[in-house]
Amino acid sequence: MDFRLTETQRFFREQASQTLTRLAPKAEDIDRADEFPLDVFRKLGKLGYYGIRYPAEIGGMGADCVTFTLLAEEIARVSMGLAAVVTMQCLMGTDFIYHFGTEAQKERCLIPAIRGEKIATIAFTEPDCGSDLGSIRTRAVKDGRTYVITGRKMWITNGPVADFVTVAATTDPAKRLGGLGFFLVEKGTPGFSVGQKIGKISARGANTAELIFDGCRIPEENFLGREGKGPEHLNNILGEIRTMIAGLGLGLSKASFAAGLKYAGEREAFGRTIGSFELIQEKIAEMEMRIKASEFLTYYAAWLRDSGASTGKEAAMAKLYSTETACFVADEVTRIHGAYGIAEEFPVQRYFRDARFLLFGGGTSEILKTLIARDTLKRNRPSAVI
């Protein structure tokens, strides 16, 4: 058993931490303006982060999942708005094209996205369905050598600015999840438009919007994946999404905790620093312990993925624990700050708001608990009806 990062992983983390820390002063501006941070986005593209998981031949870094998790952690320490934009570009927005796209699609979309020249996103969620993807209503109807996409998507990160989107749609609603497919739709395709932008309190700067597909006709090669294999493709990417979000939770927890420790060591009450009170120390011990546990679960899930093992339950546990810890820590740290915990001039109110962003994508806590229980029961009670 070896709990240490490799030399390469350590080096990457140090470099990423230095680079991203230099961007920290922009975090407040990104949060206040709530506009897509195009200049920073382009800068990070030039540094190669969007290709972290893709091979060098197409401009990527070819790094492992542990390294990707470290990037997620480092960026979430600085800005959750930026983290949402960057991880969408590195993973969800580009993964299906990398695995299933044609060479022409990769030239047109993936490679420019890796360079930060085009913006990517993915669209699963609909106005009436989120967790229950088997109920997706957006239809993809085959018509000769084309598909016609009709439906509405909601809560789509980068939606207002995306150059291309991987759209989840059903080719056969009666099959529920079995009918699920993924389709590449590029900006400018007739029938594709951006609807209302959704104002929100978390991950500001990563703009979310409704996307509308009204008889949007795309060539058949824009079907990304194999017919009937939608659930398999989905499970594969969910393992990585959950591990990455666990990394985001860890980064946010660490940023909040650092702010809490600093304040507890400086603020005085009753002639002592507040960090000397046992009730504040109880908070510090609890936070330290939960952050360490998040770290173990997160890196373990990433390491398992790198070793080629199935990571369904481990990734779910990492995401659940790390994101709930981020909410817990951000809450405790605002309490430690007293009234200043909700003052705009302190970043802890932003951490408190941003922690909520982590609770939904990749599976809500309730859904993840259900998956963990189901997997545990299946392994331990083969005869159980679940």
Ligand X SMILES: Cc1cc2nc3c(=O)[nH]c(=O)nc-3n(C[C@H](O)[C@H](O)[C@H](O)COP(=O)(O)OP(=O)(O)OC[C@H]3O[C@@H](n4cnc5c(N)ncnc54)[C@H](O)[C@@H]3O)c2cc1C
Task: With contacts defined by CB under 6 A, name the span among 112-120, 137-145, 198-206, 376-384 that binds ligand X.
Answer: 198-206
Cβ proximity to ligand X, 157 vs 322, nearer residue? 157
Which residues in the chain belong to E strands, given as ranges? 120-123, 139-143, 146-157, 164-170, 180-186, 192-198, 208-219, 268-269, 272-273
Give the nearest distance from C-beta 261 to ligand X in angstroms. Answer: 28
Cβ proximity to ligand X, 120 vs 297, nearer residue? 120
210 near 159, Cβ under 8 Å?
yes
323, amino acid identity: T
Nearest by Cα to 148 from 211, 217, 221, 213 = 217
88 near 207, Cβ under 8 Å?
no
Cβ proximity to ligand X, 50 vs 357, nearer residue? 357
* Cα dihedral across residues 310, 314, 320, 325: positive or negative: negative
Give the nearest distance from C-beta 42 to ligand X in angstroms. Answer: 20
Cβ proximity to ligand X, 9 vs 323, nearer residue? 323
Task: With contacts defined by CB under 6 A, name the span among 137-145, 202-210, 327-335, 347-355 that binds ligand X.
Answer: 202-210
77: which DSSP letter?
H
- DSSP letters, 232-257, are HHHHHHHHHHHHHHHHHHHHHHHHHH
60, amino acid identity: G
Task: With contacts defined by CB under 6 A, name the span among 197-205, 276-284, 286-294, 314-322 that binds ligand X.
Answer: 197-205
Cβ proximity to ligand X, 147 vs 357, nearer residue? 357
Cβ proximity to ligand X, 85 vs 336, nearer residue? 85
Give the nearest distance from C-beta 379 to ligand X in angstroms. Answer: 21
Nearest by Cα to 207 from 81, 60, 119, 327 = 81
Told to check if 167 binds ligand X by CB under 6 A, we report: no
Cβ proximity to ligand X, 43 vs 374, nearer residue? 374
94, amino acid identity: T
Contact pick of 189, 360, 372, 374 for ligand X (by CB under 6 A): 360
Give the nearest distance from C-beta 352 to ligand X in angstroms. Answer: 15
Site residues for ligand X, 99-158, by CB under 6 A, read 121-125, 130-131, 155-157
Q: Which residue, judged by CB position, is nearest to ligand X in the bound state?
A: 130
Contact pick of 49, 100, 147, 357 for ligand X (by CB under 6 A): 357
Distance, CA of 287 to CA of 281 (rounded, Å): 10
Give the nearest distance from C-beta 121 to ligand X in angstroms. Answer: 6
Tokens 């899930």 label which residue? Answer: 301
Contact pick of 364, 372, 374, 375 for ligand X (by CB under 6 A): 364
Supply 11's token pair: 């080096």
Distance, CA of 221 to CA of 298 (rounded, Å): 36
Radius of gyration over alpha carbons of the chain, in Å?
A: 21
Total residues binding ligand X (CB under 6 A): 21
* Cα dihedral across residues 362, 294, 77, 254: positive or negative: positive
* Cα dihedral across residues 166, 85, 307, 102: positive or negative: positive
x/- map, 254-283, ligand X, by CB under 6 A: ------------------------------
Cβ proximity to ligand X, 105 vs 202, nearer residue? 202
Cβ proximity to ligand X, 246 vs 264, nearer residue? 246
244 near 299, Cβ under 8 Å?
no
x/- map, 205-244, ligand X, by CB under 6 A: ---x------------------------------------
Q: Which residues contact 206 (CB under 8 A, 6 or more apart)?
A: 36, 80, 81, 82, 83, 84, 85, 88, 157, 158
- Report the interface residues with ligand X, using CB under 6 A: 121-125, 130-131, 155-157, 200, 202-203, 208, 357, 360-361, 364, 366-367, 370
